[in-house]
Amino acid sequence: MPEMTEGRAKAGSGTQSGAPSRASVRPATAPKIDRRILFTKGLIKEAFLELKKSSSLADIKVTDLCERAGIGRGTFYRHYRNMTEVLDEVLDDAFSQSSSLARHLVSREIRTAGACSGCDMPFCQFVRENKHYAGIFLDESLTRVVLDKMVESQKGVYLRAMQGICDLSEGELADLLYFQSSGCLSAVRRCINASPEEWARTQAAIDNFILGGLAASTRRL
């Protein structure tokens, strides 16, 4: 039997020599999200928020949380090492559902109509309308943790948005973000039970004050 010449397909391969196989060019499949894990973590976080309404972070015990969530201790430790990790993920959930300060304050829709089409709910409104988070956001012992997470979650978007309109340095903008975040959290704590009309007036006054200050340092406001 004559030898196969270079470039001829090898028997049974179905491809020419040197050509990539079908498997080598097949697009990677995105990993599937295990719905059971999401469900279990949801139970844990819901139980955590319920317990946090009446307990400090240090007083929440794994045994109590597991009993409320209807799971075993082993299940808890498969997902979290401690309550601090649960808190961290709960804060991630909250901030992923609220808009950044940059979008809230700079958006034309916010300034002219009091609403931002296409963006998430402003943080202050989110806290007022989702009071099951009150045990976290109203706990002054967690102020530093909440502010650090708030700034971390918004810093990238905030700097990109503000650098396009401001003459401030990155360090100055980072300080401004922390200042705004701290003020936002303080205002929410003070006005958490205010009427919608009273809160709207307070929010408008704060936004106008900050926008007035930004106008002195911006190119387009």
Residues 47 and 134 in one domain: no
- According to DSSP, the residues that pair with 122 across neighbouring strands are 99
Asked whether residue 76 is assigned to any structural domain, the reply reads yes
Asked whether residue 8 is assigned to any structural domain, the reply reads no
Residues 63 and 171 in one domain: no
Model pLDDT, residue 184: 86
Residues 101 and 61 in one domain: no
Asked whether residue 74 is assigned to any structural domain, the reply reads yes
The two three-digit tokens of residue 216, written as one number: 């002195």
Residues 114 and 53 in one domain: no
In this structure, are residues 207 and 105 in contact, taking their beta carbons and an 8 Å threshold?
yes
Residues 57 and 165 in one domain: no
State the total domains in the chain: 2
Q: Give the residue from 20, 51, 82 where a domain finishes.
A: 82
Asked whether residue 75 is assigned to any structural domain, the reply reads yes
- Domain encompassing residue 48: 35-82
In 3D, which of 165, 183, 53 has the Cα closest to residue 107?
165
Model pLDDT, residue 6: 42
Residues 39 and 145 in one domain: no
User: What contacts 7, CB < 8 A, 6 or more positions away?
Assistant: 16, 17, 18
Residues 125 and 160 in one domain: yes
Asked whether residue 119 is assigned to any structural domain, the reply reads yes
Report the predicted TM-score, pTM, of the whole model to 2 decimal places. 0.74
User: What contacts 142, CB < 8 A, 6 or more positions away?
Assistant: 57, 87, 136
Asked whether residue 193 is assigned to any structural domain, the reply reads yes
Residues 72 and 106 in one domain: no
Query: In a structure prediction context, what are the per-residue pLDDT tens digits for the chain, which is 221 residues long?
Result: 444 444 444 444 444 444 444 444 444 554 567 889 999 999 999 999 999 999 999 999 999 999 999 999 999 999 999 999 999 999 999 988 877 666 666 664 344 444 343 445 677 788 888 888 999 999 999 999 999 999 998 888 888 888 877 788 899 989 988 998 898 899 889 988 889 899 889 888 888 887 787 777 765 54
Q: What is the pLDDT of residues 164-195, one digit of tens each?
A: 777 888 999 899 889 988 988 998 899 888 89
Burial class of 91 by CB neighbour count within 10 A (0 to 12, 13 to 18, 19+) = buried
Q: What is the pLDDT of residues 79-96, one digit of tens each?
A: 999 999 999 999 999 988
Residues 184 and 209 in one domain: yes
CATH number of the domain enclosing 49: 1.10.10.60
